[in-house]
Amino acid sequence: MLSVDEKSQIQALDRTQPGLLLKRGRCGTMTHDYIRNGTTTLFAALDVLEGTVIGRCMQRHRHQEFIRFLNVIEAEVPAGKVVHVVLDNYAAHKHPKVVRWLGRHPRFVFHFSPTSAS
């Protein structure tokens, strides 16, 4: 059983200058400004039984990336095991191309959490 979710818009930030080191009587410091290096989306699947995580970062957060992540799961979960996937009701999870992918991979079973559930 895998619990799958995405975290979008993770910012890749660098401070404009390195922070000063800790010294006796002085806290560590860092600049208030930063350079934004773009954003990424984390796709993650928690294997509830084993306590392991399958994760990938991708540029966008659409059904195409979700299908690519499903292919990663397909490659990493041993053949012959049924894969139960618990998902939220994000539109990309129910996209027609995802439904077709699911039809071609009968060992995957999707279970959706109730709409508006935390």
61: CATH? 3.30.420.10
DSSP 8-state code for residue 98: H
Number of domains in the chain: 1
- Mean pLDDT, the chain, rounded, equals 84
Does the residue 19 lie in any domain?
no
Inform me whether the pLDDT recorded for 83 exceeds 80: yes
pLDDT digits (tens, 9 = 90+) for 17-57: 676 666 677 676 666 666 666 677 888 999 888 889 999 98
pTM: 0.74
Using alpha carbons, select from 60, 62, 114 the residue that is nearest to residue 92.
Answer: 62
Do the domain assignments include residue 20?
A: no
How far is 103 from 118, CA to CA, in rounded Å? 28
